Structure 1
Amino acid sequence: MTQPPHELAFVLDVPETGRVRSDEGLDVYLPGDGPLPAVVIVPGPSPEAYPVRPRQWPLFTGYARLLTSRGVVAAVADLPYHNVTGWSEVSELLPDLVESVRALPEVDADRIAVWAFSGGGLLVSRWWFAESPSWLRCLALTYPMLGGETTGLLSPGRPVVLTRVGLESPNLQEEVDRFVAKGVSTGTSVHVIDVPEGHHGFDVADHTDESRAAVLAAVDFVVGHLVPAR
């Protein structure tokens, strides 16, 4: 991608629905009165030079609006990657952010999903792969960075949906493939959505039918685990 991410359009045209409220460390997209299920969106780190925070990038506002169009609260986290000494310190902040979303009056605290993108994948393992609280209905990972600790902690728990791109860098692809294989061997429910012609960041970089279908499939999976079938 030659353009900075805050200038790249989301692959789907998503209407603005509901209302947006900015809280400490979060932008919360509210489709209506609750209590409603919620998805906490966890971006990866971004260079300090970018003038726009990830919570305001079309990538994440697009996913958030897509979720609210399906009747689900979406909360885009704004984690202080640049103000801490390491990733483990950022990881310590994530559970409190999730709990702040669960505590919102518009949110059903027993129906929560966490959706991590890129480097955000490194933050979720310590808290939700080894132990899976009953209120966490599913985890979503989109072109994630996954370290050895992440794969080592994977055990049967809540369902996981992983969007895997075919044009990923080899080192990241190796970790993703190892994660999927561990899911199979441990009996963990890992649902893989493949984007064979997709790059890392395909949901803004590759405006194709394949990309659009992958985004919608991931949203269907997440919403399907939060909203009872009618």
Structure 2
Amino acid sequence: MMEYVLVPGLFTGSQVWRATAEKLTGRGAKTHLVPLGSAADLETHIARVVETIDAIGATTDERDIVLVGHDYGMHPAVGAADRRANRIARIVYVDTAPVQDGAAALATLADQEVRERFAASDGTTGELPPPPREEWQRWGSTAGLSDEDLDLLTTSAAAQPLGTLTQPLRLTGEAESLPSTGVLCAESGATIATLRMLMSFGDPMFASLSRPDVTFFELPTGHWPMLSCPEELADVLLAAAAGQGTSLVTPEEAPETPAYLRPFLLDVPQVPRERCGNIDLYVPEGAETTARPAIVFVHGGPVPAGVEPTPRDWTTFTSYARYAAEQGVIGVTLDHRLHDVSAYPTAAEDLAAAVAEVRADPRVDGDRIALWFFSGSGPMTAPWLRETPPWLRCLAACYPIMAPLPGWGVNDPRFRPAEAVAGGGTVPFVLVRAGLETSAVAATVAEFVAAAEASGTPLELLDVPDGHHGFEGLDHTDDARNAVREAMRRVVERLGSE
């Protein structure tokens, strides 16, 4: 039986692991809770994890330890694994991304406001105070937590020394080849499907996740599964120690073509593109003599910089643009710089500039424009809902993420469509929902729909009951085809005539 070393995360002490440790102990495992305490820097926390490891059969070199970390706790955990790699059988990441040499925890754990607050300072002294009870959701999804769990988090929380968050993690590489497991918490927005999509972008950060000894589990809960579902988490930790879990890419299978590059669910004409800077136009015949309305299709994200092909050339968006041209409307695709969850302001500026360029084209009727958003571009609808120009005739969205997800740490109020629409929107909004959407994304859509209906916004809902996120390349069903046709019909109808 493996020995489990459990490392707590931000603001929390070892007591946060007690319920899970009891479940593991009840199944015959040995557990060790690491009291990180109020050390001034990351290296001191690493040393405390190393001390715990050394106290476990210090004379043996057998790999008998499963090292488990939660959010910030992964930094001292991985640091300790790097120094005692000969003792570690597996590293388990609980609702947090892989950590790398030179990385500081602040960049990945703190919310946007905190990151910006300490960006201009040396950040080596002082403390980050724990959140009050009603603000834990700023640090992760609280889905699944009971009132008692929130009370425990709040009453036992301690300030986090800034030095532990700003000191870069220094690794020798000794632990790079160790087996690892990620425990994904779906209510935080992390799923195996999401990781596979990110891997398809070719981001080097995710290359290490394709090894067969890197596995994943999903839990239908929020950021603190050791409190919300300790028994299920214990089961996962036991299974991880046995090498179980889902591999993103097994040795027997090649990476699948991502959904956005697969054939479109409708046959569309091969309308040629016209490339103008970071936008492409798909122009129907006759636009040279009669100005036409335009639909700008806005890709989601974040999409890492340097991805090839870029989103405006993805099959999903070129097909929508060609389909629009078939309806007599100019279809537009673009590339914007939503390369990171903090880049919504930059991406919004790119979109505004692209729309201005489209409206200035003499073949476009600048008074008849629609914007159609997809997936992670959903928050970018908020500025247009808040201040709708008279030439914007319609907004549309397919399987949108309608608010930054809990795990993103983004709290910019400019990109919260539910808040933007609460004042009463006037622009028609056509929203296509995927019935098999992840729960975290579906919750953002439900919040937006409730706000829109309460404010009297002209919202038109279309559903694909058996559709997945990105259904155009995944679900070639009658329901999906009909939803796309009907959505296009309604948007074109809202564009109207002069």
TM-score, normalisation: structure 2: 0.44
2:283 counterpart of 1:30: yes
Give CA-to-partner distance per residue, 1:33-72, whole Å, 9 cap, x none: 2310001110012345742111111111111111000100
Q: Which residue of 2 aligns with 1:7?
A: 261
- 2:470 aligned residue (201, 209, 228): 201
Provide the C-alpha distance between the structure 2 equivalents of 1:125 and 1:87, rounded to a whole number of angstroms.
11
Conserved 8 A contact 1:5-1:57: no
Q: Distance in 2 between matches of 1:111 and 1:86?
A: 28
- Cα pair 1:40 1:75 within 8 Å, conserved: yes
Shift of 1:21: 0.5
- 1:220 and 2:489 matched: yes
| More moved, 21-30 vs 5-14 | 5-14
Unmatched segments (≥5 aa) in structure 2 = 1-192, 194-255, 405-415
Q: 1:84 to 1:156 in 2, by over 3 A?
A: closer
Percent identity over paired residues: 39
Query: Residue 97 of structure 1: which of 319, 341, 354 is its match?
Result: 354
User: In 2 relative to 1, CA 102–119 (structure 1 residues): closer, same or farther, beyond 3 Å?
Assistant: same
Relative contact order, higher structure (CA 8 A, sep 6+): 1
Contact preservation (8 Å) 1:116, 1:144:
yes
Shift of residue 85 of structure 1?
Answer: 6.1
Moved more, 79-88 or 60-69: 79-88
Match of 1:51 in 2: 308
> Equivalent of 1:68, from 298, 309, 325?
325
Q: Based on CA coordinates, which of the two structures has the bigger radius of gyration?
A: 2
Aligned with residue 145 of structure 1, among 380, 392, 401? 401
Partner of 2:393, secondary structure, is strand
Match in the other structure for 2:58: none
Distance 2:428 2:292 in 1: 20
Q: For residues 219 and 226 of structure 1, what CA distance do their matches in structure 2 show? A: 11
Select which of 419, 440, 444 maps to 1:171: 440
**Over residues 80-127 of structure 1, what are the superposed CA-to-partner deviations in whole Å (9 max), with x where a residue is unaligned?**
23399622221122111111100001100000000011111122212x
Relative to its length, the structure with more strand (as a share) is: 1
CA RMSD of aligned residues (A): 1.9
The runs of at least 4 aligned residues of structure 1 exceeding 6 Å deviation read none
Out of 133, 136, 159, which is 2:392 matched to? 136
Question: Partner residue of 1:119?
Answer: 376
Count matched residues: 227
For the 8 Å contact 2:294–2:332, the answer to whether it is kept is yes
With structure 1 as the length reference, what TM-score do the two structures score?
0.93
Q: How far, CA to CA, are the matches of 1:84 and 1:92 in structure 2?
A: 15
